[in-house]
Chains A and B, each alone.
Chain A
């Protein structure tokens, strides 16, 4: 089954929606895109892309550990993502002052150790864990109703927390020293944000895979922040870009059989490249 685009977009749309798996994929994709863009907006603002990538890598030991222990895969994702977030939050603050040097070493080590554990669990388990590639790159087309519902709940929760801490978090992210002097609990906020990021990433990685979570979290927000400095506008723009990206990639991959991960990341890169070019031209 590999239908070509027809001349009429409405026909295409109805063909796209005639399969339940496509409907699930589109719903899950939309939820993922919205929450990824919102959380990712803060990731880009706080320059925490590397941490974000490392937390998405946590799903690998999460999934293989859960399979080994005989637990539902989702529980492993969440446990490892939150554990990784806490390890990074506390590890990079050992010895008092926050230093970029120590933080990057801690984040890198946490990521590498997570992968090493994942590989160990996988070889203990005996290897028949779907396949490693599905784990790493996800499979949008095998999403169940249950997964969509879990995703929706986690996303709503993450959205609520983000709405609650959004204002002080923004203050602390933009000007940490002044915020601290103003009595904003900067350290607590950064831990809360990392845990939130871990949860969101775990939810997203179950859908799009470990390695590509990143494309949806960072790229739309980075593109939006390049295009405008107005807060609400760039937040809204990030969400819009992420949603459009996901829909376009799902449609493209449905009609042309191009791997979904390639479609999403290519669209993300092209948009980001355009935004950079536009900003250069404006100068």
Chain B
């Protein structure tokens, strides 16, 4: 299985996207901003369709759409956290815009829109070329480095905003940078797991980590680890079972991890640590 180039490309891009999404997801869940993450990943769909309608490179549309929307969400809310009603209304319109672009694209080229649409919505990790996979990996590395760099102040602001602001932590700036990172991740992951399924990598591993431990650094590592494991197991499963699409496999595995964590007693890691002492 590892001898095949398309599997290696999938593993390269998938692993790094998983780590980036796992780390970002930890903060998204901590800040209860999963809806914003979800909206950003759908925005990627509109961006892809806009690029297809305009006939430019898909990635330009993806990044332009998600980063702009991240800035908008940051601008609309208090301390760069838009409330869910605002997100909902703006986000519904963005989807409507996606329909418009779909129509335009259908009019300009006969056929093929279903493929672009389906690919943007659900991704095709086995369809990445070596160039695309390397680029995806490189962008994921930048996102990982950035989130690790702001992890400490972001944690402070997320856990206790009032005290953090009093201590001079730039809450608004951090919130904006964070959303832009989520946007970049959404644009990147759209090609691998698809706009609609990225949410699985953002929410499920992080939810698992939050359920298992209250220690933030352990939680971040756990979240990234669960995301990574989901991608690997998912890719292996869909390689074995031809009918199982890779995006579905990855998200279902991640969902399985979360289900197991919900069934487990709360904070088992702390329990084990206490027992060992």
Residues of chain A having any CB pair with chain B under 8 Å:
44, 47, 49-50, 52-53, 57, 91, 94-95, 100-109, 111-113, 115-117, 119-120, 123-124, 131-133, 136-137, 211-212, 214-215, 218-219, 222, 258-266, 268-269, 272
- Nearest-neighbour CB distance to chain A for B268, whole angstroms, equals 12
Given A105-B29, A120-B244, does the pair A47, B96 have CB atoms closer than 8 Å?
Answer: no
Question: A226's closest neighbor in chain B, by CB?
Answer: B85
Closest to A57 in B: B196
Instruction: Say whether A120 contacts B245, CB under 8 Å.
Output: yes
**In the bound complex, what is the Cα–Cα distance between A57 and B30 (angstroms)?**
24
Residues of A close to B96: CB separation below 8 A: 212, 215, 259, 261-266
B35 x A104 contact (CB < 8 A)? yes
User: Is A119 touching B92 in the complex (CB atoms < 8 A)?
Assistant: no
A119 to chain B, nearest CB (A): 5
Nearest CB of B to A177, in Å:
19
Task: Say how far A183's CB is from chain B's closest CB, in angstroms.
Answer: 29
Q: Are A261 and B197 in contact (CB under 8 A)?
A: no
Residue from the list B85, B100, B118 in contact with A47, Cβ < 8 A = B85
Assess whether B102 is in contact with A112, with CB atoms less than 8 Å apart.
no
User: Interface digits, B7-43 against A, CB 8 Å rule (1 contact, 0 not)?
Assistant: 0000000000000000000001110111101100010
B52-60, B65-73, B149-157, B200-208: which lies at the A interface? B200-208
CB of A29 to closest CB in B, whole Å? 16
Asked whether B146 is an interface residue with its Cβ less than 8 Å from the other chain, the reply is no
Interface residues of B in 239-267 (CB under 8 A from A): 243-245, 247-252, 254-255, 258, 262, 266
Shortest Cβ gap from A223 to chain B (Å): 8
Q: Is the CB of B203 within 8 A of A119?
A: no
- The complex places the Cα of A272 from the Cα of B196 at a distance, in Å, of 26
Q: Known contacts A91-B262, A109-B200; decide if A115 and B29 are in contact (CB<8 Å).
A: no
Q: Contact at B207–A106, with CB atoms within 8 Å?
A: yes
B217 within 8 A of partner (CB): no
CB distance from A171 to the nearest CB of B (A): 21
User: B122, B199, B250 — which one has the most chain A CB atoms within 10 A of its CB?
Assistant: B199
Partner of B85, one of A44, A116, A258: A44
User: Which residues of B142-199 are within 8 A (CB) of A?
Assistant: 196-197, 199
Are the C-beta atoms of A133 and B97 separated by less than 8 Å? Answer: no
CB distance from A26 to the nearest CB of B (A): 20
How far, in whole Å, are A106 and B211 apart by their CA atoms in the complex? 11
* Chain A residue contacts of B28, Cβ below 8 A: 104
Residues of B within 8 A of A91 (CB): 262
Could you mark each residue 76-113 of chain B with 1 if its beta carbon is under 8 Å from any beta carbon of chain A, else 0?
A: 00000001110111111101110110110000000001
Chain B min CB distance to A44 (Å): 6
Select the residue from B114, B243, B248 with max chain A CB neighbours within 10 A. B248
Instruction: Name the residue of chain A whose CB is nearest to the CB of B97.
Output: A262
| Interchain pairs with CB closer than 8 A, number | 194
A264 CA to B249 CA, complexed, in Å? 35
Residues of A within 8 A of B90 (CB): 269
**Given A102-B207, A105-B204, A222:B85 Cβ within 8 A:** yes
- Looking at the complex, which one of A49, A124, A133, A269 makes contact with B102 (CB distance below 8 Å)? A133
For B114, list chain A residues within 8 Å (CB).
Answer: 131-133
Return the chain B residue nearest A249 by Cβ: B96
Given contacts A119-B248, A131-B114, A268-B92, contact A262 B203 (CB under 8 A): no
Going nearest first, the 5 A-B pairs with the smallest beta carbon separation are A105-B207, A265-B96, A108-B203, A112-B200, A116-B251
B127 at the binding interface (Cβ < 8 Å): no
User: Please, could you name 20 A-B residue pairs with CB atoms under 8 Å apart, sorted by A?
Assistant: A50-B34, A50-B35, A52-B88, A101-B30, A105-B34, A108-B202, A111-B203, A112-B255, A115-B197, A115-B199, A115-B200, A120-B244, A132-B121, A133-B114, A212-B95, A218-B89, A260-B99, A261-B96, A269-B89, A269-B90
Question: A48 vs B210: C-alpha distance in the bound complex, in angstroms?
Answer: 21
Tell me the bound Cα distance from A113 to B255 in angstroms: 6
Which residues of chain A are within 8 angstroms of B118 by Cβ–Cβ distance? 132
B100 and A258 within 8 A (CB): yes
Q: Verify if B216 is at the interface (C-beta below 8 Å from A).
A: no
Q: How far is the CA of A101 from the CA of B202 in the complex (A)?
A: 13
A104 to B207 Cα, complex, angstroms: 9
Given A105-B258, A132-B117, A269-B90, do A112 and B251 touch, yes or no (CB 8 Å)?
Answer: yes
Residues of B within 8 A of A107 (CB): 34-35, 203
Shortest C-beta distance, B215 to chain A (Å), equals 15
Closest to B196 in A: A115
B88 touches A266 (CB 8 A): no
| Chain B residues in 8 Å Cβ range of A57 | 196
